[in-house]
Structure 1
Amino acid sequence: METTVKREVRGVCPMDCPDTCAWIVTVENDKPVRVRGDENHPYTRGALCAKMNNYAAHTQHPQRLLQPLLRVGPKGAGSFHPIAWDRALDIIAERFSQIIAEYGAEAIWPYYGCGSFGMLQGLAGAGRRLWNVLSTSQHVMTICTISGGVGTGYTLGDNRMGMDPETIRYAKLIILWGTNTLSSNHHLWRVVQTAKADGAHLVVIDPIKTRTAEQADEHISLIPGTDAALALGLLHVVVSLGAEDREFIERHTLGWEAFRDRILQWPPSRVAEETGVPEATIWQLGERLARTRPTAIRMLMGVQRHGGGGMAVRTIMCIPGVTGDWRHPGGGAAYDTRGFFKGNWGALHRDDLRRPGTRSLSMTRLGEGLLDVSDPPVKALFLYASNPLASAPAQGKIRAGLSRPDLFTVALDQFMTDTAQFADVILPCTSQLEHADLHNTYGHIYISWNEPAVPPPGQCLSASEVFRRLARRLGLKEACLYDSDEEMARQVLASGDSSLEGITLERLKRDGWVRLNVSDPFLPFSHDFPTPSGRLEFYSETMATRGLDPIAGYTPPYEAAQRNTELARKYPLALIAAAKHYQLNSIFANSPGHSKRQGSTKVLIHPVDAASRGITAGTPVRVFNDRGAFFAVAELTDGVRPGLLASTKGAWPSLERGSSTVNATVAERDSDMGGGAVFHDNRVECEAASDNVQ
Structure 2
Amino acid sequence: MIRTGCPAHNCGGRCLLKVFVRDGVIVRIETDDRPGDTVADPQLRACVRGRAYRKRQYHPDRLMHPLKRVGKRGEGKFERISWDEALDRIASEFERVKKAYGNSAFYVPYGTGSYNQINGRQTAQRLMNLYGGSLGFYNSYSWAAISAATPTVYGTAVTGNQRQDWLNAKYILMWSWNPAEMRDGTNSEYFVQKAREKGARVVCIDPRMTLSAVALADEWIPIRPGTDAAMMSAMAYVMVDEKLTDADFVRTHCVGFDETQMPAGAEGAESYKDYLFGTRDGVAKTPEWAESICGVPRATIARIAREYATTKPGVLYQGYGMQRRAYGEQAVRAGCVLAAITGNVGVPGGWASGIALQAPDGGPFWLVFPVGENPVKAIIPSFLWTEAVLRGKDMGEADGVRGVPKLATDIKCIWAVACNALINQHGNVNRTARILADEKKVEFLLVQDNFLTPTAKFADIVLPVCTQFETWGLEDGWKYGDEVILMPKIVEPPGETKSDYRICSEIAARLGLEKTYTEERTERDWVAWSLDRYRQSRFPGVPSLDELENSNAGIYSVPVTKPAVAFADFRRDPAKHPLPTPSGKIEIFSKRLHDMGRPAEIPAVPKYIQEWESPFGPEAAKYPLSAIGHHYLSRVHSTLEGVDWLEEAFPQRLFINPVDAGPRKIKNGDRVKIWNDRGAVVVKCRLTPRIMPGVVALPQGAWWTPDAKGVDRRGSVNVLSSERWTPLAFGNAQHTIMVQVEKAEAA
Does structure 2 retain, via aligned residues, the 8 Å contact 1:629–1:662?
no
Q: Does the Cα contact within 8 Å between 2:7 and 2:469 map onto a contact in 1?
A: no
Letter in 2 for 1:674: A
Among 395, 402, 408, which residue is 2:429 paired with? 395
Say which of 287, 290, 293 aligns to 1:268.
Answer: 287
Aligned to 2:731: 676
CA offsets, 1:234-253, max 9 Å, x none? 22222233232234334433
Kindly tell me: are residues 244 and 119 of structure 1, through their superposed partners in 2, closer, same or farther at Cα, counting changes over 3 Å?
Answer: farther
The 5 A counterparts of 1:110-509 are 110-122=108-120, 125-133=122-130, 134-159=132-157, 161-185=159-183, 187-215=187-215, 216-257=217-258, 258-265=271-278, 266-332=285-351, 333=353, 335-337=355-357, 340-341=362-363, 348-351=370-373, 353-356=374-377, 358-360=378-380, 362-373=381-392, 376-388=409-421, 389-406=423-440, 407-449=443-485, 450-476=487-513, 479=516, 482=519, 484=521, 485=523, 486-487=525-526, 490=529, 494=533, 499-503=538-542, 506=545
Partner of 2:575: none
Q: Return the offset for 1:197.
A: 1.5
Specify whether residues 139 and 504 from structure 1 end up closer, same or farther in structure 2 by C-alpha distance, changes over 3 A only.
Answer: farther
TM-score normalised per structure 1: 0.90
Partner SS, residue 128 of structure 1: helix
Q: What letter corresponds to residue 694 of structure 2 in structure 1?
A: G
- Is the CA contact (8 Å cut-off) linking 2:62 and 2:450 kept in structure 1? yes
Distance 1:433 1:637, change over 3 A: same
Instruction: Judge conservation of contact 1:621–1:632 (CA < 8 Å) in 2.
Output: yes
Q: Aligned match of 2:565 in 523, 532, 547?
A: 523
Equivalent residue letter for 1:207 = P
Q: CA deviation at 1:474?
A: 1.5
**Conserved? CA contact 2:364–2:479, under 8 Å:** no
- Distance of aligned partners of 1:46 and 1:139 in 2 relative to their CA distance in 1, 3 Å threshold: closer
- Where does residue 744 of structure 2 map in the other structure? 689
Q: Cα gap change, 1:157/1:346 in structure 2, threshold over 3 Å: closer, same or farther?
A: farther
CA distance in 1, matches of 2:250, 2:592: 20
Q: What is the alpha-carbon distance in structure 2 between the residues aligned to residue 655 and residue 49 of structure 1?
A: 31
Instruction: Structure 2: state its 5+ residue gaps.
Output: 259-270, 279-284, 394-407, 571-578
C-alpha contact 1:223 1:561 (8 A) present in aligned 2: no
Letter in 2 for 1:350: G
Work out the CA distance in 2 between the residues paired with 1:183 and 1:345.
Answer: 24
Number of residues of Structure 1 aligned to a counterpart in Structure 2: 680
- Counterpart for residue 10 of structure 2: 16
Which residue matches 1:3?
none
| Partner-residue secondary structure (3-state), 1:401 | helix
Query: 3-state DSSP class of the match of 1:127?
Result: helix
Distance in 2, Cα, partners of 1:241 & 1:498: 47
Query: Which residue of structure 1 aligns with residue 67 of structure 2?
Result: 69
Q: Residues 191, 140 of structure 1: CA spacing in aligned structure 2 closer, same or farther, 3 A cutoff?
A: same
Post-superposition offset of 1:670: 0.4
Q: Deviations over 1:525-545 (max 9, x none)?
A: 212344444433223334345
Cα 1:487/1:647, change in 2 over 3 Å: closer
Deviation sequence 1:377-401 (CA, Å, 0-9, x none)? 3322211212232221111112222
Q: Where do 5+ consecutive residues of structure 1 fail to align?
A: 1-6
- Could you say if the C-alpha distance between residues 625 and 345 of structure 1 is closer, same or farther in structure 2, counting changes exceeding 3 Å? closer
The alignment's TM-score, normalised by the length of structure 2, stands at 0.84
Instruction: Indicate whether 1:617 and 2:689 are aligned.
Output: no
Q: CA deviation at 1:557?
A: 4.9
Shift of 1:689: 1.6
C-alpha distance in 2 between matches for 1:614 and 1:68: 49
Partner of 1:535: 585
- Note the alpha carbon deviations across 1:215-241, whole angstroms, 9 max, x for none: 421111111111122222222222233
How far apart are residue 204 of structure 1 and its match? 0.5
Give 1:556's aligned amino acid. Answer: I
Report the counterpart of residue 719 of structure 2 in structure 1: 664
Alpha-carbon RMSD:
3.0
Cα displacement string for residues 79-134 of structure 1 (whole angstroms, at most 9, x for unaligned residues): 323323232111101011001111222222212412123444335x3333223333
State the alpha-carbon separation in 1 of the partners of residues 174 and 45 from structure 2.
21
Cα distance change on mapping 1:503 and 1:229 into 2, 3 Å: farther
Q: Tell me whether 475-484 or 303-312 shows the greater mean CA deviation.
A: 475-484
**Structure 1 residues 500 and 405 mapped into 2: Cα distance closer, same or farther (>3 Å)?**
same
Deviates further, 196-205 or 544-553:
544-553
Amino acid across the alignment from 2:463: L
Q: Distance in 2 between matches of 1:646 and 1:342?
A: 32
Kept in 2: contact 1:11–1:25 (CA 8 A): no
Change in 2 beyond 3 A, CA 1:640/1:74: same
Cα contact 1:367–1:394 (8 A) shared by 2: no
Corresponding residue number in structure 1 for 2:688: 637
Q: Which segment drifts farther, 264-273 or 292-301?
A: 264-273
Match of 2:398 in 1: none
- What CA distance in whole angstroms lies between the structure 2 residues aligned with 1:209 and 1:491? 41
Q: Which amino acid aligns with 1:396?
A: N
Letter in 2 for 1:625: N
Q: Does the CA contact (< 8 Å) of 1:11 and 1:448 recur in 2?
A: no
SS at match of 1:349: coil
TM-superposed CA distance for 1:491, in Å, is 6.2
**What is the distance in 2 between the residues matched to 1:691 and 1:534?**
63
Q: What is the one-letter code of the residue matched to 1:280? A: A
CA distance in 1, matches of 2:218, 2:566: 29
Kindly tell me: are residues 586 and 280 of structure 1, through their superposed partners in 2, closer, same or farther at Cα, counting changes over 3 Å?
Answer: same
Tell me which amino acid in the other structure corresponds to 1:198.
K
Whole-angstrom CA distance in 1 between matches of 2:669 and 2:195: 39
Displacement of 1:518 in angstroms is 7.4
Cα distance in 2, alignment partners of residues 66 and 495 from structure 1:
34
What amino acid is aligned across from residue 201 of structure 2 in structure 1?
H
- What is the alpha-carbon distance in structure 2 between the residues aligned to residue 655 and residue 45 of structure 1? 42
Counterparts of 1:402 and 1:667 in 2: how far apart (Å)?
17
Q: Which moved further from structure 2: 52-61 or 253-262? A: 253-262
Instruction: From 27, 32, 35, give the equivalent of 2:29.
Output: 35
Q: Is residue 2:658 matched to residue 1:594?
A: no
Deviates more, 1:175-184 or 1:468-477: 468-477
Name the CA shift for 1:665/1:344 in 2 (closer, same or farther; >3 Å).
closer
Report whether the alignment pairs 1:89 with 2:87.
yes
Assess if the C-alpha contact under 8 Å between 2:158 and 2:566 holds in 1: no
Which among 656, 660, 675 is matched to residue 605 of structure 1? 656
Q: 2: CA distance between counterparts of 1:530 and 1:516?
A: 29
Q: Structure 1 residues 664, 342: CA separation in 2 closer, same or farther (over 3 Å shift)?
A: closer
Partners of 2:116 and 2:468 within 8 A in 1: no
Query: Distance in 2 between the 1:571 and 1:221 partners?
Result: 21
Q: Is the 8 A contact 2:326 2:733 kept in 1?
A: yes
1:585 to 637, 643, 662: 637
2:505 maps to a residue whose letter is R
CA displacement at 1:273 relative to structure 2: 2.4
Give the Cα–Cα distance (whole angstroms) in 2 for the partners of residues 85 and 546 of structure 1: 52
Q: CA deviation at 1:573?
A: 1.4
Q: Deviations over 1:393-412 (max 9, x none)?
A: 11111222232234321110
C-alpha contact 2:172 2:200 (8 A) present in aligned 1: yes
Q: Secondary structure of the residue that 1:27 maps to in structure 2? A: strand
